[in-house]
Amino acid sequence: MRDRLDGLFSDEDFTAWHPRDGRPGLSPAQLATVCVLQYALNLSDRHAAEAVRCRIDFKYALGLELEDPGFHHSVLSDFRDRLAEGDRADRLLGLALTRIRRAGLLKGLAARASRPFP
């Protein structure tokens, strides 16, 4: 997805989540992507944070330098708490699905979803 979309999310997608006079210490777009990878691979917070530090595929998916030190695993829990506020999760999922469809990565699923069930 990184090659076709230049990342699933951008930090601008999260501007309403943070006060206007400051900016987040970590990229919320990267944290959201880590959460997607974490879910897809069934990883604990510790294992997901370790993967960001050690796995080249995670670093590539997140657009990180190989030397990037990553972050503490507790950041993921804090991020999910913010994600759970209001309808943020639904809006973020809708945005991701729209981008994935526009990139042509869900052609088969989109066609099946438009057909009525038998």
Q: What is the DSSP letter of 117?
A: P
Evaluate if residue 21 carries a pLDDT over 70.
no
Chain centroid offset of residue 86 CA: 18
Q: Is the pLDDT of residue 65 over 80?
A: yes
Residue 88, Cβ neighbours under 10 Å: how many?
14
**94: Cα separation from own chain's centroid:** 12
Mean pLDDT, the chain, rounded, equals: 82
pTM value? Answer: 0.75
19, amino acid identity: P
Q: Please give the share of the chain, as a percent, with pLDDT higher than 90.
A: 39
